[in-house]
Structure 1
Amino acid sequence: MLRRPESYEIDISSIELLKKIPSKSGWREREKYFIPAVSSSLEELESLKTTRNNSLGAFKPKSVEDFIIEDDSGEWNEKQQKVLQQSSLFKQDKCIQKKVPYKFRYLFHSSDKECNGHDIQIFDWETAQSYWRFNRVL
């Protein structure tokens, strides 16, 4: 969960809004900025983290073997609470999201010839929101 230390305390005054890129054209305009940042594999992303100090990237897995759901505590531990209590980039008030009582993981292979497979836990807020929404429906 604590993977991007440069994001913990953002200097908001250092952010400059250049222009809004609308999504009305099916992401065509946004793709110009996003596609060059896509890596061929997780191994390449890890290499870029070391060589260029990149902390964010995207790639397409070669194959996804499994999506795993495991029971987990419904409470945030102390370390997680500290991260969640940090100031927000856009809001002054901090609302700590209720913790999902499960862990979600992907088992996959990337396209790198040296890839032996990956087992990565998902810490994505959209996954948590989907859980809460689906839980209400069921």
Structure 2
Amino acid sequence: MQARIENPAELLPDAVKAINLLYKAAHSAGVPSSTLELVHLRASQINGCGPCVDSGARAARKNGETDERLFAIAVWRETPYFTDAERSALALAEAATRLADRSDAVPDDVWNEAAKHFDDSGLAAIVLWIATTNLFNRINVTTRQQAPQNW
């Protein structure tokens, strides 16, 4: 499959600036970067975004993530590899990524569990990072961007 156009963010330089500001804001609220990487990877898997799954897994591994956790991210509920805080962030990522799948897209139990582990700034960062990841995913999937073949 070939990309339909270049990455739109690269074609519109002001978009790169805005995306970089979103990235910086989400990563400055004290949520562990490993948690944000897991959230990014899970949302990207759900959305079928090859470039984001590839880059997300590589970045997480480079930052010390284990293969066991990376291989199990899609089945995080059925494995012992994740903390309760990470599980709450992953549940929030799944709900916020699959908004159309249920009438109460992000149920109170999902939100309340995340709120047990993260303060308001942390929750804001996670929500912003989920939204930013979904932005990346939608751009890449719509324009058929491909994961790089050579790293």
Q: TM-score range by the shorter chain?
A: under 0.3
Choose between structure 1 and 2: higher strand proportion.
Answer: 1
TM-score by length of 1: 0.23
Structure ranking higher on relative contact order (CA contacts 8 Å, 6+ apart): 2
Larger Rg: 1
**Which structure's residues are more often helix, by fraction?**
2
